[in-house]
Structure 1
């Protein structure tokens, strides 16, 4: 027989546990809304190389977040920007200039994690490579020769090179015989090694840590006789000002608890999935660090400067 006291006690117990049940449901709400998260990157190397590099990290993210995380390799920087604008890409790994381009064109995204170099710094450089056995010792020696750039939204492969050349009083369209857009950092180096261009722009962090050294470590570059090329087969004739490192950004519209979970997964990755994290940079980077959109204000100024250069041209 139910008594008034029994009914009251049951009601009080239910009321006491309700907040916890509600909190548990709320914690799962974003997973119901987003049973799959798309994480997109632009390939600095060939597509299979990107898949090999990122697959263990994406697997870690899936386990950590409790939903399927799908790696999408964007065709180029513009595809990455437009994918986030459309809401089809929840998390994206940008270059600084492409992220700045996303911001100035109204894409609602927030940078939350930045790469950290092995020495603790958070920047890298754009360099111009030539072949070491070539006669070119300076940029001035390249007058009338072909230059390989990467992509209009690449920081080290396009925007910073144009900025650096402008500081030297050099107009690429009249100084070089041809300016070739190669589409990727790897393609730029391949164009140089095969003689299609006499200089190529690329990213460089430190001796032994660059796109070039990654390609060499994979045996991608060969001499005409078939022997493997070495770092000493290339010479740097131009090194830019420091560029802030690459950001990872998520959509502003994502639920706050979802964004918190993504941030935590990235910041925990070096400790919880050391092998997967190390593979992202061939073991060169320290754990991700927090960043904000404001950290890329100087990059926004850079791309606006380059835009004005192109308008004048």
Structure 2
């Protein structure tokens, strides 16, 4: 006998079957996903940090997620422009550059730090035993930047110094791109640069503490250094954290599945989640494109200043 209960059960079964069939459709189009990551640390450290998380995403999404450590920030932008990377981790300025150059991406989440904040600061470090007490003391000296598309390691210092009437290119005697946050700090530690622009979350979470945790903070003679061997001479306004983003063209249900996998990570695979920050972050928090309007404005301003110089 057909009754109301059996009809409801049949409808539910049909819905589940249709949903499964729909999922199989995107799996045919994307039997594998690529996750591109900016090289914030050196390549081996970045691989070590992100590999467990890529493995977690593979299990949650249901298709293999291949990790790609980019050679530079621009490579992540290009990987999404060409569609060869469906998921990416950006810095805020590299995300802004992607948007400004026409890459259609959808920011999903950012990491929330143990401070409760979803952002950080740009700082300029010098050695504590140097004569540089204030930013003005670095006029004519050498600064290690990170990458042209790094927020804390290039775009923010340029923006805030320009606002104070000084250009990075004219204020410093020489500026070099170190390629990663780690390398910029090590340039100061080893004496090949007088200062380094970098990211700073808190006293207990920054690139000095991360290098210390890996036993890599040493001077040119190989002597271990500590946080006390460095001094901050510049600190920017607060900056939003960089987003984990997906191609806007992905099927809506796939995007939702990826986003949910990120949001569930702290509970479903805490070890992989903690690896991303050395245990210093507490969760992923949703983010929207509008949250980066200020960063897009910063990048536009810097571009305009460069054209005028």
TM-score, L = length of structure 1:
0.93
Give the 5 Å matches for 1:219-258: 219-258=215-254
Q: Which residue of 83, 89, 108 corresponds with 1:87?
A: 83
Match for residue 288 of structure 2?
292
DSSP 3-state at the match of 1:183: coil
Q: 1:227 to 1:14 in 2, by over 3 A?
A: closer
- After the TM superposition, which residues 1-313 of structure 1 pair with which residues of structure 2 at under 5 Å, given as runs? 18-313=14-309
Q: 1:20 to 1:163 in 2, by over 3 A?
A: closer
Q: Tell me which structure has the larger Cα radius of gyration.
A: 1
Closer/same/farther in 2, CA of residues 14 and 222 from structure 1, 3 Å limit: closer
1:278 is displaced (CA, Å) by 0.5
* Cα gap change, 1:109 to 1:215, in 2 (>3 Å): same
* Residue 6 of structure 1: aligned partner: none
Aligned-residue RMSD, C-alpha: 1.7
Task: Give 1:309 shift.
Answer: 1.2
- Could you list the runs of 5+ residues in structure 2 that have no partner in the other structure? 1-8
Change in 2 beyond 3 A, CA 1:14/1:157: closer
The residue matched to 1:89 in structure 2 has which SS?
A: coil
**Change in 2 beyond 3 A, CA 1:311/1:14:** same
Shift of 1:198: 0.4
For the 8 Å contact 2:186–2:218, the answer to whether it is kept is no
How far residue 286 of structure 1 moved from its aligned partner, in angstroms, is 1.3
Aligned pairs, number = 302
TM-score, structure 2 normalization: 0.94
Cα distance between partner residues in 1 of 2:73 and 2:262: 22
Conservation of the 8 A alpha-carbon contact between 2:190 and 2:218: no
Q: What displacement does 1:247 show? A: 0.4
Separation (CA, whole Å) in 1 of partners of 2:125 and 2:144: 10
Q: Deviations over 1:53-90 (max 9, x none)?
A: 11111111111111100000011111111110111000
| 1:263 shift after superposition | 0.6
